[in-house]
Structure 1
Amino acid sequence: MIRVVLAEDQALVRGALAALLDLEPDLRVVGQAPDGEAALQLCVELRPDVLVTDIEMPRLSGLDLAARVRDVHPGTAVVIVTTFARAGYLRRALEVGARGYLLKDAPADDLADALRRVHAGGRAIDPHLAADAWSEQNPLTDRERQVLAQAEGGASTAGIARTLGLREGTVRNYLSEAIGKLGVDNRVAAARLARERGWL
């Protein structure tokens, strides 16, 4: 029996996924969480075989959750199920240890098969996204991504510097580099484009 924890902030979607998976003879949903922090706690307590999570969730994103689960219980395979058909998100998901990445409009059978595959040690990646992920490289460094993420939230240069422990001149340099790499005119456009590509 493959034991599954579901993390999804939309109750209707979470319930539908649980109902679908419970129809499978070899899959059992042992826990459901409405946010990333609750999902992490369930993974610590229940030690499931597989965690199914969305990307954008309250309190802890699916990508951050995948990284934390990898650290606290590496025996739990993580499968991302999301509406975001973005190669950048897929690459980041793989970087933090996710073993599966499926879109919510995939057939229900695909999810069950994906959980079996990752439980057996394999990967389950949407094939169209996989091709895009390897052809589209993220040009931003980790620090440029951090600075842009702060700028996206409306933080000033001084505020970003305080939050990240940098000098204001250094923040301006990172913003300038990111803007230049993305070929846009300002920090707002750079953050928007990076978000659209799945790089933030």
Structure 2
Amino acid sequence: MTSNDRVITVLLADDENLIRSALASMLSLEADLEIIAEAADGTEALAKARALKPDVAVLDLQMPGLDGVELAELLAREVPDCRTIIVTSHARPGYLKRALAVGARGFLPKTATGATLADVIRRVADGGRYVDPDLAADAISAGDSPLTPREADVLEAAADGAPLEEVARRVSLAAGTTRNYLSSAVTKLGARNRFDACTIARQRGWI
């Protein structure tokens, strides 16, 4: 890298400390990438992005508070020069479509290599886009999900029949809010109950 080359500033947001630290260490080896902030949840990431205005924010899909898609939507409005990339270990087709709709510029699985992520950061910083080909194919074949990201999260958390209070704990929401999300998901899917809703959503690749 020469003195005239651009250094891309990056914010990392992931509630799994080990994964976030590993990503930070890996990306810091790239001469043209600078990790200027890390965040353990969506709310913290939003505050740091507002203050530091990174070039690129790499966001975990599932985080407490604001999830990656919700955060990408807010950043598109409030920090428009910060481009967003979402990484996930739960690649639901519905999330991909929602992420792209709200302005995310990249979407890839956590199984991607460090070199791939670094290249995607560069591409997105230069104004391009990147969607993992396998995730894109799955999204096309699955059709459009009527569920919001939160409804999908809550429905998946309830799939094993856990009590409402346990489901609420898993998704970091109040019990009443969790019940409302489940009820909405059941209604949207035309299901008999939450278990039927889980079956329908899984068959269609939405959770």
1:114 to 103, 115, 120: 120
Paired residues for 1:87-126 under 5 Å: 87-126=93-132
Paired residues for 1:27-66 under 5 Å: 27-66=33-72
The residue aligned with 2:142 is 136
1:3-40 Cα distance to aligned partner (Å, 9 max, x none): 00000111111110001111001100000000100000
Deviation >3 Å, runs of 4+: 152-155, 174-177, 191-200
Q: Distance in 1 between matches of 2:121 and 2:115?
A: 10
Contact 1:4 1:30 in 2 (8 A): yes
The residue aligned with 2:88 is 82
Is residue 194 of structure 1 aligned with residue 205 of structure 2? no
Taking structure 1 as the reference length, the TM-score comes to 0.77
Paired residues for 1:158-169 under 5 Å: none
1:194 is displaced (CA, Å) by 3.2
Q: Distance in 2 between matches of 1:42 and 1:196?
A: 38
Q: AA paired with 1:24?
A: E
Taking structure 2 as the reference length, the TM-score comes to 0.75
1:190 is displaced (CA, Å) by 1.0
Residues 104 and 178 of structure 1: is their aligned pair in 2 closer, same or farther, counting only changes over 3 Å? same
Q: Distance in 2 between matches of 1:185 and 1:55?
A: 29
Question: Identity over the aligned pairs, expressed in percent?
Answer: 44
The residue aligned with 2:20 is 14
Q: AA paired with 1:186?
A: N
The residue aligned with 1:23 is 29
Q: Distance in 2 between matches of 1:193 and 1:29?
A: 41
Q: Distance in 1 between matches of 2:203 and 2:67?
A: 16
Q: Distance in 2 between matches of 1:68 and 1:197?
A: 28
1:157-193 Cα distance to aligned partner (Å, 9 max, x none): xx78xx79xxxxxx89x845522xxxx5423321564
Residues 197 and 40 of structure 1: is their aligned pair in 2 closer, same or farther, counting only changes over 3 Å? farther
1:138 is displaced (CA, Å) by 1.9
Q: AA paired with 1:110?
A: T
1:134-157 Cα distance to aligned partner (Å, 9 max, x none): 232125276xx69x96xx6959xx
Gaps of 5+ in 1: 165-170
